[in-house]
Amino acid sequence: MSTSALRQLHPSAILMLASAIAMVCTYLVWGLTMRSEAGLSSLLNWSDISWQIAEVDSRGRIVRLGAHPFGLALLFGLVTACCMSFAWGAWQYFGRKTLTQREADEGLSERLEKVGKDLDDEMSSLMQLVKQHMELSGTHSESLSQAGENLMASSSPEKIRAIIQFLLKENRKVQNEVTELNGKLQQSQRQIEKLRINLSDSHRLGLLDAVTSLKNRHWLDVHLPKEVEAAASANEPLSIIMADVDHFKRINDTFGHAVGDEILRRFAELLSKNIKGRDTAARYGGEEFIVVLPQTRLSGAKNLGEQIRNELECKKWMHHRTGQPIGKVTASFGIAELRKGEEYGDFLDRANSKLYEAKAAGRNRVIVDD
């Protein structure tokens, strides 16, 4: 491995590699000292057997055992140290990867919250400007109305001249204030557009699945616990449907990943078409999907699952390039309704267990957790 490649490795990975090399070297050195007459013992002026755990003949039979336990202790000590270093490095490496993903998710959530807050603040500023503009218009309308009444009641040239000067002054004042207000409105509009694009990109990158354009696993981890809490607080029903495309690996292996992705997109469209209102479809991972159904009882979720299953089964699938028939594509469904006092994880596990029951029972079926 080159020096540049080593520099790119994580320190924990380097520690794991060094521990493995040290372990191999320990066994090699020990093996050499077992078979060499001029071993490490000669350097310490000990007898040959002091460094030997056992001496064997060409047939593998033990001829004699070492008289000193230091060789055995050294061997096991070095091997134990190498194993512990390797285990610690592995824990640091894989634990850090998990932590990095968690930090990325938290950073994305913080970014979304910050952009949302900035957008709310900018909208509040815009509302203040509109309110200021309305108050300004009202004030000038009253001034013009009063000047008009005074003009009608005045007969002397001096008073008329004074009223005209007042109107000119008010007009200049209105022009300046309107110009300043328009500048602020344009600046606020540009800032809102910038925040809107930023928020849209953040949602698109962080909360949408790249293949199906449905909500992704991160969205579920953030929002499903909130739906569970809201349903429990309002004492309203909440159901979820977990769906898994049957034999999806076989489809990928036979027709390629492009066809597999197309099937996932079509299935996502089917889910989106059959939900409404606050219902949300999301890709849980791989070929698994989840449909979150607020204010929906188990019976309603079951009817929806059967409807989606039947529509998918009735579709005719063909390769989009060659026109080769793909065959029937089906899916299995597991459904659960939130129980009183149930945690988010347990709720999800019940639906997942019913999904596996559906697959174990022959696939292409809906099983509910009664």
Instruction: Provide the annotated active-site residues.
Output: 287
* φ and ψ at residue 52, rounded to 5 degrees: -100, 135
- 281-286 long-range contacts (CB < 8 A, ≥24 apart) are 281/214, 281/215, 282/209, 282/214, 282/215, 282/216, 282/217, 282/219, 282/220, 283/209, 283/211, 283/212, 283/214, 283/215, 283/216, 283/217, 284/217, 284/220, 284/242, 285/217, 286/248
Whole-angstrom distance, CA of residue 59 vs CA of residue 62: 9
- 259-264 long-range contacts (CB < 8 A, ≥24 apart) are 259/319, 259/320, 259/326, 261/211, 262/320, 263/317, 263/326, 263/329, 264/211, 264/212
